[in-house]
Chains A and B, each alone.
Chain A
């Protein structure tokens, strides 16, 4: 048997309290506790309820990182409470921890939030297999290991909402589907048995709700307790939009494609040229800022750009390595 020593440390918890039926504003309750190195965040929530205040409310169920019910925020970091050890929390944030729901503006009671928007967006990407199934098949529909591999980790999502409510775009833009819904869309798009692709892809191509509004902050990849890596799936969806001919010409698609043109021409980017290519006539709205930048020597005209050395290599590679068309 290994000799494992359990250590104990004092931690101050500042806990978000709110009851939508009774309180006008939320408030914070302080609890000082001795925390052992064996405990996870969910143990602390349990102890608050069992030892301090029976009215303290939170969601929990499986206790094994499967049901996705117990995600909350610890010092602003979305955390699956049953999975995250208290040791890690103290290591990152020290001995003063703030316990809050995933989204304060959606709080119903303490840690419990209304996840309506999460589920609506989840539903919007048709999170199920769309296929004309032969009800009396003569043989199995075989999926090769390589094809199954394509789903990557997208299948592991437990709908805990950690990435969704940690996403800065979801916070600002009510229409944005968010990283969990995109990862789910990818899960079915990448499934060889699925025939729903165009409808699903058209929805995620739409402005405001679709993948193009992602700010690429990488928070969803960082925060996911199941390593689903939603941003990677978002990139793959971007690729699919081009591959399957769903991408239409708009400022975002032209922006992505514009990089290739700029690189083929100069090796380096022509920053002004890229904005012009992306915006077209819409460039006029950038004139006031561009003028200020120009007066400060921040704009290099196309003829002033120092091209990459050995540009012929870059041009050859752009020609031979391109895999996408638009």
Chain B
């Protein structure tokens, strides 16, 4: 099989507050035989906030990021749900509105770039499921995670709105009964935990302006996983990770009950199962201690 190559849009979080996510992405890619070409020219996607202030600027910046992936003639892979949503939303809007695309390209031409719409934009989770396959991943597992009950936390911006999201990958996902992350847990040999909050919101995007709302949502998510006997949680989104990993104190206070579980990035879980050296997965960067390794 030809080596898989993707243009990697790391997003900002992987380079700052979740270094473990960057490390584990690279470690897992190497194990899976994926070549990642990092889009070092990319800017921040605006994280679903810039567009509230300046929608057009947000479109131009995201189109520029995609244009760099197009230059490589590669699929753009994201490792953050919110990067995925913002980038895919931009692609969707430009691909379906010639006038808007022309307006954006007029700006991009000022810096010698053009958005064509030739690159797919997909999250790493779906890229490996589509292009490698869960069966193949299961075959590559060296250390099955069979002693663990693992609670998947999908993160809103990978599953909703489904009409948009399902343009980004072959494996269709229903946001009311998502399966991709459950399937990956099973492929890694783990036991997937079913709980009500697995497809719900962690509250991240209202953290500053509505801290109480955000903390209750975080608390409910961790409590849901705990009440269904999860040993730990796993998520494809570094923003959900930040919320679930670093905000347990506020979350516990908000819901009036101590909640805390180790939370792994999906790349870290996969890395453990594939037998990546533990130091390459960055577990020491977690605020809630990863207490099982």
Measured CB to CB, the residues of A under 8 A from B are: 75-77, 92-93, 168-169, 172-173, 207-208, 212-219, 221-222, 229, 235, 238-239, 242, 250-253, 255-257, 259-260, 262-263, 267-269, 271, 275, 278-279, 288-289, 292-293, 296-300, 305-306, 308-310, 313-314, 316-318, 320-324, 326
List the A side residues contacting B52 at CB < 8 Å: 235, 238-239, 256
B176 CB contact (under 8 Å) in A75, A262, A321: A75
List the A side residues contacting B110 at CB < 8 Å: 316-317, 320
List the B side residues contacting A296 at CB < 8 Å: 284-287
Is B160 a contact partner of A218 (Cβ separation < 8 A)? Answer: yes
Q: Is B61 an interface residue (CB 8 A)?
A: yes
List the B side residues contacting A293 at CB < 8 Å: 17, 246, 287
Is A92 a contact partner of B177 (Cβ separation < 8 A)? Answer: yes
List the A side residues contacting B100 at CB < 8 Å: none
List the A side residues contacting B16 at CB < 8 Å: 269, 271, 298-300, 305
A316 CB contact (under 8 Å) in B40, B57, B111, B203: B111
List the B side residues contacting A323 at CB < 8 Å: 54-57
List the A side residues contacting B46 at CB < 8 Å: 259, 263
CB proximity to A under 8 Å, residues B27-76: 40-44, 46-57, 60-61, 64
A-B contact pairs, 10 of them (CB 8 A): A172-B217, A213-B210, A215-B201, A255-B209, A259-B47, A269-B16, A298-B287, A300-B17, A309-B41, A321-B57
Is A216 a contact partner of B57 (Cβ separation < 8 A)? Answer: no
Shortest Cβ distance from B40 into A: residue: A309
Min C-beta distance of A272 to chain B, whole Å: 8
Shortest Cβ distance from B54 into A: residue: A324
Q: 1/0 contact trace for B213-256 toward A, CB 8 Å?
A: 11011000000000000000000000000000011011000000
Is B285 a contact partner of A238 (Cβ separation < 8 A)? Answer: no
List the B side residues contacting A255 at CB < 8 Å: 49, 208-209
Is A263 a contact partner of B18 (Cβ separation < 8 A)? Answer: no
Measured CB to CB, the residues of B under 8 A from A are: 12-13, 15-19, 40-44, 46-57, 60-61, 64, 85, 107-108, 110-111, 113, 156-157, 160-162, 174-177, 196, 200-201, 203-206, 208-210, 212-214, 216-217, 246-247, 249-250, 284-287
Task: A215-B214, A251-B209 are known; give 11 further A-B pairs, CB within 8 A.
Answer: A216-B157, A217-B156, A239-B53, A242-B53, A256-B52, A256-B53, A260-B50, A263-B46, A275-B208, A317-B110, A321-B61
Measured in the bound complex, the distance between the Cα atoms of B50 and A324 in whole Å is 11
List the B side residues contacting A262 at CB < 8 Å: 44
Measured in the bound complex, the distance between the Cα atoms of B14 and A268 in whole Å is 11
A292 CB contact (under 8 Å) in B85, B107, B196, B287: B287
Known: A219-B156, A314-B64, A326-B53. A214 touches B43 (CB 8 A): no
Is B44 a contact partner of A259 (Cβ separation < 8 A)? Answer: yes
Q: Quick one: which of B19, B208, B249 has the most chain A CB within 10 A? A: B208
Is B50 a contact partner of A256 (Cβ separation < 8 A)? Answer: yes
List the A side residues contacting B107 at CB < 8 Å: 317, 320-321
Min C-beta distance of B50 to chain A, whole Å: 4
List the A side residues contacting B64 at CB < 8 Å: 313-314, 317
Is A169 a contact partner of B42 (Cβ separation < 8 A)? Answer: no
Shortest Cβ distance from A238 into B: residue: B52
List the A side residues contacting B201 at CB < 8 Å: 168, 215, 217, 219
List the B side residues contacting A316 at CB < 8 Å: 110-111
Min C-beta distance of B241 to chain A, whole Å: 11
List the B side residues contacting A215 at CB < 8 Å: 201, 203-206, 210, 213-214, 217
Measured in the bound complex, the distance between the Cα atoms of B239 and A215 in whole Å is 13
Is B213 a contact partner of A172 (Cβ separation < 8 A)? Answer: yes
List the B side residues contacting A289 at CB < 8 Å: 246-247, 249-250, 287
